[in-house]
C-alpha cells in the first residue's frame, strides 16, 4: 500500500502500543508510509509507568520498544496493526476535547 492509499486523513485515530507485548521487531517502522513509528530505548519516565512484566520484557529486548513518534500523522491504514508479529498495536479514536 502506498502512502496515497490510506483512506483517512490524519488525526482520526492514533496508534496505541501495548507495552506488555511489544518486542521491538520494527515491522511497524518498515510498513508505515507516514513514518509514524520508531524503535528506540525507552527512558526512565516511560519505563516507570510500565508493569514489572512489561519492564522485564523491554529489558530482554535491549530496553527498546516501538514508539509512535508522529502519531498525529497516522492515516488509519492499519498496516502497522497487520504487520506487528506480537499484536501489540491497535488504533484508537482521537479524543475530542
Query: In total, how many domains does the chain have?
Result: 1
| 3-class secondary structure, 15 | strand
Q: What's the pLDDT score for residue 91? A: 95
CATH number, domain at 39? Answer: 3.30.70.20
Q: Is residue 75 part of a domain?
A: yes
Q: What's the pLDDT score for residue 68? A: 96
pLDDT digits (tens, 9 = 90+) for 10-65: 888 999 999 889 999 999 999 999 999 999 998 888 888 888 988 888 888 888 99
Question: Which 8-state DSSP code applies to residue 26?
Answer: -
Residue-number span of the structural domain to which 57 is assigned: 11-92
Q: Is residue 35 part of a domain?
A: yes
Residue for grid cell 491504514: 77
- Pick the more confident residue, 80 or 3: 80
Q: Is the predicted pLDDT of residue 5 greater than 80, yes or no?
A: no
Q: Is residue 87 part of a domain?
A: yes
Which residues are CB-contacts of 48 (< 8 A; sequence separation ≥ 6)?
A: none
Cell numbers standing for residue 23 = 518486542
Sign of CA dihedral 16, 31, 84, 50: negative
| 3-class secondary structure, 64 | strand
- Pick the more confident residue, 7 or 39: 39
Q: What's the pLDDT score for residue 97? A: 61
Q: Is residue 1 part of a domain?
A: no
Average pLDDT of span 73-79 = 93
Amino acid at each position: 500500500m502506498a502512502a496515497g492509499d490510506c483512506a483517512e486523513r490524519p488525526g482520526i485515530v492514533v496508534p496505541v502500543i501495548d507495552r506488555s507485548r511489544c518486542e521491538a521487531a520494527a515491522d511497524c517502522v518498515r510498513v508505515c508510509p507516514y513514518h509514524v513509528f520508531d524503535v528506540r530505548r525507552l527512558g526512565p519516565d516511560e519505563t516507570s509507568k510500565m508493569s514489572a512484566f512489561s519492564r522485564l520484557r523491554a529489558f530482554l529486548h535491549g530496553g527498546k520498544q516501538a514508539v509512535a513518534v508522529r502519531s498525529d500523522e497516522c492515516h488509519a491504514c492499519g498496516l502497522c496493526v497487520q504487520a506487528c508479529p506480537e499484536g501489540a498495536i491497535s488504533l484508537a479514536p482521537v479524543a475530542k476535547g
